Structure 1
Amino acid sequence: MHGVKPVARPEAATVYVPPGRFLLGKVEFKGQCNNNDIVIRLDGTLVAPSDYNVIGDDGNWLMFEHVNGVSINGGTLDGQGAGLWTCKKTGKSCPSGATTLEFSNSNNIVRKGLRFQPPASSPNTDGIHVQSSSDVTIMNSRIGTGDDCVSIGPGATNLWIENVACGPGHGIRQIFIKTLVVLARIKKEAGVQNVTVKTATFTGTQNGASGVKISDVKYQDIHGTSRSEVAVKFDCSSRYPCSGISLEDVKLTYNNQPAKASCSHADGSVSGVVQPNSCLLQ
């Protein structure tokens, strides 16, 4: 039409971190822009402040909120948490633990080839936390923390985790807050849907992949050794039972002996070779 100018489309943007170590304080990436093609390429190491008071009780170091179409490729994140955990061991008043990388209210996120480097003894330091976000992909990464490698909060949907080496730490967990499902219902928080964990390796972790209210979940082709005699545990409540659980080709041992399974208010199906013997109600 005459007199009408076409709206310019924003060009793809790239943030590049070259090889080397670079000190970076608390950073928040906040969106609501039209550019849905942003690439953050890390060939170097981002280092958190050694003074834990810089971040304090904020709860995260790198925060992505309301972003769409962001890719984070390569690099290392060094949380430098040793000072904080030393403080906690003394019994002094110290800031609470933090999340290294958090995504909230975001969509179409791809994160590949990132390495997390906090101390193995760093409690309450999640590697990646995803909540209120959809279509998040985490691939080809090594995540070692003293807490959850990946924690999944309310409102996370279509989360794909593939080829991730997890440990030490707590593993991959679906989390809510305090009284978990009950509080989530009171607050009317959104649930977690469509989470896939594929070709993941758990080494020295407290848990593998665990959750709270579970339904329509398939555990397929899982092999390894357990740190405890009970290798498979579905601990569900009578009020919010777990349902539709599928176990296929699962083999877990404990001290080179068959492990045990424990189920409470959980039902599902079994196919292939499953060890320990399933305790699911069928």
Structure 2
Amino acid sequence: MAIPKLQINNVGLIFLFGIAIFSSKVADSATFGSRRGLLEAESTVFDVTKHGAKPEGGDSTMGFIAAWKAACQSTGPAKVVVPPGTFTTGETIFQGPCKCPKPLILEIQGTLMSNKDISLYSRAAWLIIEKVEGVTVTGGGTLNGQGKDSWQFADRSGASPPLPSSLVFTGVKGCSINNISFVDSKGVHLKISESSDVSVSNLKITAPDSSPNTDGLHLSSVTNINITDSDIGTGDDCIGIGHGSNNILVSNIKCGPGHGLSIGSLGKREAEKDVKGIIIRNCTLKGTTNGARIKTYMDSPSSLQVSDVLYEDIILDNVKNPIIIDQHYNSKTRKKESTVKVKDVRFKNIRGTTNSKIPVALNCSEAMPCEGLELHDIDIAPVGNVPIQPTACQNAKPIFSGKITPGECK
């Protein structure tokens, strides 16, 4: 019997070709899904209690370090887990570089307690994450610095080494921290330095308003840092943006008590670097000593510049100094004018209440007068019957627009 000859026109060829491509894509997707499932199945949890950490008893420093090292050197996805419970450690260094794929997760479910003996902290820090990329710190746990016994030794002048910070990121890239609580740090709660591309969100930071030098978060020598959706109340700056900080976003922060949302102090030491590209918006300050603040030391040993700064959509509730540029910081011990240049700074839509007679003070340097200052829609009312004065301007000629209460400078 003769087999009929198969006739395939151009439409048929296109149809068959499409089926072939679709089949190939399905096969590839299946293979990718299998690989992804395999990777997830191979994810390894490094529980600190399996490496010597002991909840509710003894020092767990070495157990934490051992779990980190094992995870860091893993060839597959890795997660260091601190389970529920209370763990005490001294100086603990989580060091890279790491071999495991990114992200390396440090999941803190329990409560970490800092050893009260301040002689244990050779690097003025309790927990240090350094020289690593792609670390995520999360878990809903708490870092308790147990600072109450140490605050009596704090040197407010800055002449002595600072008390230990609770957590320090240094020399890191592409890292994040979220859903962590900080309590009573001995020094700064969270410090980020010499790092880039770091995301900070959903933190709760708490210390008494009388606790010295307990900044919520401090930055220096960093680029591309986002700080969002956090509640900070301490005895110093809620957020302090130090020298060498570039492209910083601060958004949706509740601040208070504390010293406000500050840029500085700048110009204290030699070789400090410029600060540029700072956006601070959608924040609320309650009962703080300052609101939007830029502060620079007098008699600066280095010349640097603060520029391209925006404070926007800020709500004030009984704030002492709502808007302040203070270029005469530490004037009791330094007499020469600051050589830090402040330029292109905008204050927009800042409103609320103050307990100060001078809500807006632009106290710039005679040696380096401020340039490019703009104030738009400022509406600040006194608490009670305290009379308020117009904007105070020294070595500054700001541009005003929109509603300006308490009034333009004369």
TM-score grouping bracket, smaller chain normalisation: 0.7 to 0.9
Greater alpha carbon shift after TM alignment, 110-119 vs 14-23: 14-23
CA distance in 2, matches of 1:44, 1:269: 51
Q: Secondary structure at the match of 1:82?
A: helix
Q: Is the 8 A contact 1:80 1:118 kept in 2?
A: no
Greater alpha carbon shift after TM alignment, 46-55 vs 262-271: 46-55
2:377 is aligned to: 249
Give the AA of the match of 1:103.
I
Q: Shift of the alpha carbon at 1:270?
A: 1.9
CA distance in 2, matches of 1:274, 1:22: 52
Q: Shift of the alpha carbon at 1:117?
A: 2.6
Is 1:26 aligned with 2:91?
yes
1:140 is aligned to: 229
Is 1:126 aligned with 2:236?
no
The structure whose Rg is larger is: 2
2:393 is aligned to: 263
Q: Is the 8 A contact 1:82 1:119 kept in 2?
A: no
**Per-residue Cα deviation, 1:76-128 (whole angstroms, up to 9, x for no partner):** 43332211235669xxxx97442121111111101111111323321111111
Give the AA of the match of 1:142.
D
> Higher helix fraction: Structure 1 or Structure 2?
2
| 1:85 corresponds to which of 151, 165, 169 | 151
CA distance in 2, matches of 1:227, 1:27: 43
Alignment of 1:127-206 (within 5 A): 127-176=216-265, 180-181=266-267, 183=268, 187-206=270-289
Change (3 A) 1:237 1:113: same
CA distance in 1, matches of 2:388, 2:107: 43
Q: Is the 8 A contact 2:154 2:212 kept in 1?
A: no
Change (3 A) 1:138 1:41: farther
Q: Shift of the alpha carbon at 1:192?
A: 0.9
Alignment of 1:218-257 (within 5 A): 218-256=346-384
User: More relative contact order in 1 or in 2 (CA 8 Å, sep 6+)?
Assistant: 1
Change (3 A) 1:138 1:204: same
Is 1:208 aligned with 2:297?
no
CA distance in 1, matches of 2:349, 2:141: 30
Change (3 A) 1:255 1:27: same
CA distance in 2, matches of 1:36, 1:272: 48
Q: Is the 8 A contact 1:59 1:99 kept in 2?
A: no
CA distance in 2, matches of 1:12, 1:220: 45
TM-score by length of 1: 0.78
Q: Shift of the alpha carbon at 1:12?
A: 5.9
CA distance in 2, matches of 1:11, 1:138: 30
Q: Please list every run of 5 or more consecutive structure 2 residues that lacks an aligned counterpart in the other structure.
A: 1-74, 164-186, 297-340
Change (3 A) 1:85 1:252: same
Q: Shift of the alpha carbon at 1:24?
A: 4.0
Is 1:105 aligned with 2:194?
yes
TM-score by length of 2: 0.56
Q: Shift of the alpha carbon at 1:251?
A: 1.4
CA distance in 2, matches of 1:266, 1:37: 47
Identity of aligned residues (%): 37
Q: Shift of the alpha carbon at 1:39?
A: 4.4
Q: Secondary structure at the match of 2:247?
A: strand
Q: Shift of the alpha carbon at 1:224?
A: 1.9
Is 1:274 aligned with 2:397?
no
